Amino acid sequence: MSARVDRSGYPGGWQGLTQREWEVAIALARDRSVKEIAAELGVSAKTVEYYWARIKAKVGVRSYVGLTLWMARRGLLRFPGREK
């Protein structure tokens, strides 16, 4: 299942995330692995793990599931076939 992320209404960033942290958060919410994200972004897996640590600290979650739930509860995720 893929998810679309809606950033409208969040000018200047989302929870203080950088653009790259935002890209990693989206990919994690889409159930992408660290290795897949690293390859897609052209960075090392260690770099993706660094971004994930910063995302967790900024958003206040402990897991990928927590991040996905946090995003969904705030209307940042839209799942195909489940539009309002």
Domain ranges of the chain: 16-78
CB 8: neighbour CB atoms within 10 A? 7
Query: In the predicted model, is pLDDT for residue 13 greater than 50?
Result: no
- 42 DSSP 8-state letter: T
pLDDT recorded at residue 82: 55
Higher pLDDT among residues 53 and 22, named by residue: 53
pLDDT recorded at residue 55: 94
pLDDT recorded at residue 19: 87
pTM, rounded to two decimals: 0.75
Q: Residue 73 — pLDDT band, cuts 50, 70, 90?
A: confident
Is CATH 1.10.10.10 the classification given to domain 16-78? Answer: yes
Match 């998810």 to its residue by tokens: 3
Contact of 72 with 58, CB cutoff 8 Å:
no
Query: In the predicted model, is pLDDT for residue 1 greater than 50?
Result: no
